[in-house]
Amino acid sequence: MTTEDVKKVKDKEVRKQVVIPLLQHIGTVCEPIVDKKTDVLVGQKIGEGNDEFSVPVHSSTAGHVVAIEERPHPVCGSVPSVIIESNETNDTIEFKTSKNPSKEYIISALKDSGVVELNGYSLYNMLTSEKLIDTVLINLSFSGDVSSNCAPENITSIIEGMNLLIKASDAQQGAFIIQKDDRQLISAIESGLFEEADIEIFTVEQNYSPSMANLLTYEITGMQIPNTCTPLDAGVLLSSAGSALAVRKAVLEGIPQITVNVTVTGAVHNPGVKNVRIGTSIKEVIDSCGGYSGEPGKIIMNGIFSGTALSTDEVPVIKSTSHIIVQSSDEVLHEIPGPCIQCARCVDVCPANILPGRIASFADMGMHDECFKLHVNSCVECGLCVYVCPSSRHILQLIKYSKTVLQQLLKYEDEQRSSGCLSCDAPCLASTPFISNGGIL
């Protein structure tokens, strides 16, 4: 046996697997529609939602199903997942293309393709809600989304995605929201919009994460939105660069959401942007960037302030993954938090105008009823309170803990008004309203 033959045997023995969670959206876990040992193609539907909030899940690789079982999820503990072993052929289903789609075709394509926003909401459900949509906004101020998806070669596709959303929603106008100091992106969008009379550009001072959707809508439109509502209640469809690209691909090329662009930064040898198949492990993505440079101390998904610290690098990339940050063991802070000194810095920087330090103190004492009275659910989890705290208090972690406890205590009696998602071990990143005694809290 030659060296080449040995290499081929080893390659077969370690064929890559993808672990595709059946929960990548706001809603209930999808039901698998494939069985163990089933052969699947790239783009084939493998999971179907069973309520109005869920979206289908598709295979990102060609191969055969080796297991359907609980696997670690980057956000929700462990969820049922479909494990597929690649056959290395990249065979696909037949994708249906379109050059001039109608409104009905766009909506149907989004239903079948399973496109979700960075906060987990289904674009199809947003478009088919009974809310009247007047404006489509695409948030290009979130750094993780911009670095991953706003390369110069993607600008035209993002604008096409915006136009498809405007057509599908019957909106009268659209706008791109860009950070004021990002002159290169502003110039690129301006160049692409030279014939688009109904699409404008607005600039903002700060970085708006997906959880800050209501605050961003208020800054642009002047309409205040309570935390129990969404921008749709103000007639605004708020999307992202990654979703605009996914919309364009789903509608014009017929390709479901099976890949995402992910920026990898921090303690890796070759930081950069990678186009990653859904279900690929975080470790594989990091290995594609040359691996860890030194001993990793922490891995954070989707933002240094508002992101999620991962317990392991074996969790998969999901539809809402846009940024992976690796911190070395030397970079991870191990400071012992001190007492609150009543400086009110956390209050000064809080975009939701709540009292983060006071809420954290009540949460630390287990007084979650007091946290509720202080509007803990209005927290958008931006992380600014932690950044400015001179006592290094774990303010955001305590607020998230209180949200978790309240979520477990409150009863979801009106299922028609809740998302139906009860699978999270942590508070819903999309801040889905709590339901108690038939009313939104």
DSSP state of 205: S
Total of domains in the chain: 4
What CA–CA distances, in Å, run from 134 to 33, 158, 169, 220?
37, 20, 8, 13
Q: 290's torsion region: left (phi>0), alpha (psi -120 to 50) or beta?
A: left
Last residue in a domain, options 212, 238, 253: 253
Asked if 219 and 133 sit in the same domain, the reply is yes
Residues present in the chain in total: 441
Residue 414 inside a domain? The answer is: yes
Asked if 239 and 269 sit in the same domain, the reply is no
pLDDT at 294: 86
Q: How far apart are CA 280 and CA 300, in angstroms?
A: 16
Last residue in a domain, options 278, 303, 328: 328
CATH value at residue 298: 3.10.20.600
pTM above 0.75, yes or no: yes
Determine the 3-state secondary structure of 139 from DSSP.
strand
Q: What is the gyration radius of the CA atoms in the chain, in angstroms?
A: 22
CATH value at residue 22: 2.40.50
Asked if 421 and 357 sit in the same domain, the reply is yes
Asked if 135 and 241 sit in the same domain, the reply is yes
DSSP state of 251: I
Asked if 122 and 147 sit in the same domain, the reply is yes
Last residue in a domain, options 297, 328, 359: 328
Asked if 181 and 265 sit in the same domain, the reply is no
Which residues, at least 6 apart from 139, have a Cβ–Cβ distance to it below 8 Å?
A: 145, 177, 208, 210, 213, 216, 238, 239, 240, 241
Q: What is the pLDDT of residues 125-139, one digit of tens each?
A: 999 988 899 999 999
315: tokens are: 């969790």
In angstroms, how far is the first alpha carbon of the chain from the final one?
69
pLDDT at 420: 43
Asked if 198 and 132 sit in the same domain, the reply is yes
> Which residues of the chain have a pLDDT value below 50?
1-14, 411-441
Residue 402 inside a domain? The answer is: yes
pLDDT at 13: 37
Name the strand (E) or helix (H) holding 264.
strand 259-266
312: tokens are: 């392991």
Which residues, at least 6 apart from 437, have a Cβ–Cβ distance to it below 8 Å?
A: 411, 413
Residue 233 inside a domain? The answer is: yes
Name the strand (E) or helix (H) holding 326.
strand 323-328
pLDDT at 304: 83
Q: What is the pLDDT of residues 154-179, one digit of tens each?
A: 999 999 999 999 999 999 999 999 99
Is the Cβ–Cβ distance between 323 and 242 less than 8 Å?
no
Residue 4 inside a domain? The answer is: no
Asked if 304 and 162 sit in the same domain, the reply is no
DSSP state of 249: I
Asked if 60 and 181 sit in the same domain, the reply is no
279: tokens are: 């279900």
Domain span at residue 306 reads: 259-328
Asked if 211 and 107 sit in the same domain, the reply is yes
Asked if 118 and 243 sit in the same domain, the reply is yes
Is the Cβ–Cβ distance between 294 and 329 less than 8 Å?
yes
pLDDT at 175: 95
Residue 120 inside a domain? The answer is: yes
Q: How far apart are CA 250 and CA 254, in angstroms?
A: 5
Q: How far apart are CA 283 and CA 279, in angstroms?
A: 11
54: tokens are: 């869920």
Beta strands 323-328 and 259-266: pairing type? parallel
Q: Which of 247, 241, 321 is nearest to 279 (CA)?
A: 321
Residue 57 inside a domain? The answer is: yes
Residue 333 inside a domain? The answer is: no
Asked if 166 and 274 sit in the same domain, the reply is no
pLDDT at 116: 92
CATH value at residue 147: 3.40.50.11540
Residue 339 inside a domain? The answer is: no
pLDDT at 15: 58
